[in-house]
Amino acid sequence: MTTEAKILRLDEAMTQVADWQRAGQKVVFTNGCFDLVHLGHIDYLEKARALGDRLVLGLNTDASVSRLKGPARPVVNEYARARLMAALSFVDTVILFDEPTPKELIEALKPDILVKGDDYTVETIVGADFVINKGGTVETIALVKGYSTTALIEKIKQSY
């Protein structure tokens, strides 16, 4: 399968997730910007996938990243970020979203497990109540200390 084949529109992702769930597979969902991929991202996504059988990654569009992180971001455009994420063996599907939060995406996909980093609590994770109310679970994953895209950008700016 090519990396582009793992990048789906919402309707395609909804069908794929439903097919996996009908086959008895547990679908994990997480989301983020994933700009300048680093060890923290890889560790987090690998651990997220280990919680279930399939990992669906909601990826912020360029416009969404700019709204969240400021006009200088993202460093890497959405097409390149989507292809990079899709190239990871433990990511099964990538879907771009432009909304302020992934709430609509989570409600459309109906994942079995919702995951975020431990910089969140279950109470602050968007979509947690929806997933829990439909019988799913919400998990947090310990983040690798010392890794962030913002810190990486600052290091590059100071070094060059």
What is the pLDDT, as a whole number, of residue 111? 98
What is the pLDDT, as a whole number, of residue 126? 97
Adjacent-strand bridge partners of 5:
none
**Residue 16: CATH number of its domain:** 3.40.50.620
pTM of the model: 0.93
Report the alpha-carbon distance of residue 48 to residue 2 in Å, rounded: 22
Pairing label, strands 113-117, 27-32:
parallel
The dihedral through the CA atoms of 121, 21, 87, 102 has a sign that is: negative
Q: How many domains does the chain have?
A: 1
What is the pLDDT, as a whole number, of residue 95? 98
What is the pLDDT, as a whole number, of residue 57? 98
Q: Which residues contact 88 (CB under 8 A, 6 or more apart)?
A: 42, 45
What is the pLDDT, as a whole number, of residue 72? 87
Domain holding 22, by residue range, is 4-159
What confidence tens digit (pLDDT) does each residue in 87-99 have? Answer: 999 999 999 999 9
Ranges of the chain with pLDDT below 50: none
